[in-house]
Structure 1
Amino acid sequence: MDLILTITSVEQDKKKKQRYHLFVNDARDPFTSVHEDLLIKFRLFKGREIDADELKQILHEDSEHRAYVLALAYLGARQRTEKEIVRYLAKKELEEGAVRKALERLKREGLVNDSAYAELYAAQRMRSQSKGRRLLQQELLQRGIKRDTAKEAASKLNEESETEIAVNAAIKKWPHLKGEERERKHKLAAFLLRRGFPSGAVREAVKAAAQSELEDEDGHMLDN
C-alpha cells in the first residue's frame, strides 16, 4: 500500500518568507518545506493528501526551483560563468539534475552567457589592468571558460589597442627599472611578456619607452 501523507498544518518560514513548512499526519516537527510557488501549484493546503509519487515530484521541482533562485541571487552581485554557477550550487548540496536544469534555464533567459562574459572580461581587463591577450586567455580558462570560447574572446581584442596599452604600460614601468639601458630593456620585455603581450607589441613598447626617456632628457636640456 502506498504511503499517504495528510497535510495537517502549513506555516510560513519566519526567516525565508517565500518558503512554507508542511506538517503531516499531526506531527509536531515539519515534514519538509517548499517555495510558495509550489505551494500554490500543487495546492498544498491543510487537509490535502499526498501519495509517494506526487511527493517525489514536489520535492524534485522544489529542488530545481531552489537551485534557480539561489543562482539568481548569486548573479545579483556580478556576471558569472557557467562553471562558477555550478560550483556555487554544488556547495548548497543540491541535486546534480536540479543544478543542470537551473543552469539551462538561466542560459535560455540570457542571464548566463559565457561568450559574452569572456568578451567583456577580456576587453575590460586589457584596459584597466594593462594585460595582453595571452594572459587574459589564461585567466578566462581559470574561471571555467571553455578553451575555444576563451581563445575566440582573446582573438577579438583589437591588436592596435593592445599595442597601445603595452606602450603605455612600458613607459610607466621604465623609470622604475635599474641598470644599464640594455639590462633595463631586457627587464621591461620580460615584464610585458609576463603580462601576456605578444612579442611584436613588446618590441614596439620597449622601443617607445626608451625613446620617451631620451625625449624627456632633450626637453629638460632645452629648458635649461
Structure 2
Amino acid sequence: MATITSISTQKRAGRYNVYLDGKFSFAVDERTLIRFGLSKGMELDQSRIDEIQTDDAHAKALGQALNYISHQARTEQQVDRFLMGKDYDEQTSASVIAELIDLHYLDDAEYARRFVAESINKGDRGPRGVRQWLNQRGVSNDDIEEALRDYDQDQAITVATQIAEKAFAHPGSKSAHAQTQAVHQKLMQKGFDSEVISIVLADVQPEEDEEREDTLLREAAEKAWRQKRGVDPFNRGQKVKQQLYRKGFDLDAIDRVLDEIKGAES
C-alpha cells in the first residue's frame, strides 16, 4: 500500500499531480480526482492506482474527443481514428465512444440523415456520391440505406439538373459537344447514376450558337495548324483534324475550316 502525501495543481487547468510516499506518482484530471475522492492520507494499492490511471486516460480522451466533435459532426469511426492517432488504446477509445453515444453526441444514423439532407440542399452530390462519402467514414450500410430513402430519383434529377444548368451557363472555350461531355463526366464524379444523367442531359443542353461554335472552331484550328507546321502537309491535316474532332467539333465544319486555312496559305 502507498499513501497520498500531497496533491498539487498543474499549470494546466484541471490537472493535478499526486504524490505517494513523498514522491510524484501520477497525474489526474479533476473529474478523476473527484470521482475517486483522492485526498492526502488516502492509501492506495496497485490495482486501485491502475484503476485511477485508466479512468484518467478515459477523462483525457473524452475531453479531446469532445473538442474534436465540437467543430463539426463526426462519425464513430472518425472519433476512433482521432483518438488512436493520439495514442490512446482501443479500450479507451471504445469506452469514450460508448459514453459519447450515451450522451447523444455521436449518432451515425442521424449523421447520415443530415448529410443526405445537406447534399440535396446544397446540390453537390448524387446518391452514389453520398453513399461513398458515408461509407468512407464508417457509417453502416443499414444507416446509409435508411438515410438514402429520402433521396429518390426525382430529387436526384432535380439536383443533377441544377448542376448541369450551372455548368452550361459557364461554357468557357469548350464546344457544345465538349460541354456536354464535361457535364456528363462531372455528374458521374458527383455520384449520379447513368439513368439520371441521361434524363438530365436529354432535357438540359448548351444553348445553340452557331457563330460562337464557328469562332471557337476557327481559333482552335488555326492554333493547331500552327503547332503542326513541322509535319508534312498530309499528316498535318490529319493530325489537326483528329485533334479538333476530339475537342467535339463537327467533322464537316472541321473540313470546311481547314480548307479555308489551307486556301489562305496557297
- The one-letter code matched in structure 1 to 2:10 is D
Q: Structure 1: which 5+ residue stretches go unaligned?
A: 218-224
CA RMSD of aligned residues (A): 2.2
**Alignment partners' CA distance in 2, 1:48 and 1:24:** 9
1:205 to 192, 200, 204: 200
More relative contact order, 1 or 2 (CA 8 Å, 6+ apart): 1
Map of 1:6-155 to 2, 5 A cutoff?
6-15=3-12, 17-27=13-23, 30-155=24-149
The number of aligned residues is 208
Change in 2 beyond 3 A, CA 1:57/1:86: same
**Does 2:196 match 1:196?**
no
**Alignment partners' CA distance in 2, 1:32 and 1:140:** 41
- The one-letter code matched in structure 1 to 2:60 is R
Secondary structure (helix, strand or coil) at the match of 1:161 reads: helix
**Alignment partners' CA distance in 1, 2:151 and 2:160:** 13
| CA drift at 1:168 | 1.3
Secondary structure (helix, strand or coil) at the match of 1:65 reads: helix
Map of 1:136-175 to 2, 5 A cutoff?
136-174=130-168, 175=170
**Alignment partners' CA distance in 2, 1:192 and 1:71:** 36
| CA drift at 1:32 | 0.6
Question: TM-score normalised to the size of structure 1?
Answer: 0.83
Question: TM-score normalised to the size of structure 2?
Answer: 0.71
| CA drift at 1:179 | 2.7
| CA drift at 1:62 | 1.8
Change in 2 beyond 3 A, CA 1:10/1:188: same
| CA drift at 1:103 | 0.7
| CA drift at 1:129 | 4.7
Percent pairwise identity: 27
**Alignment partners' CA distance in 2, 1:61 and 1:130:** 43
Q: Structure 2: which 5+ residue stretches go unaligned?
A: 211-266
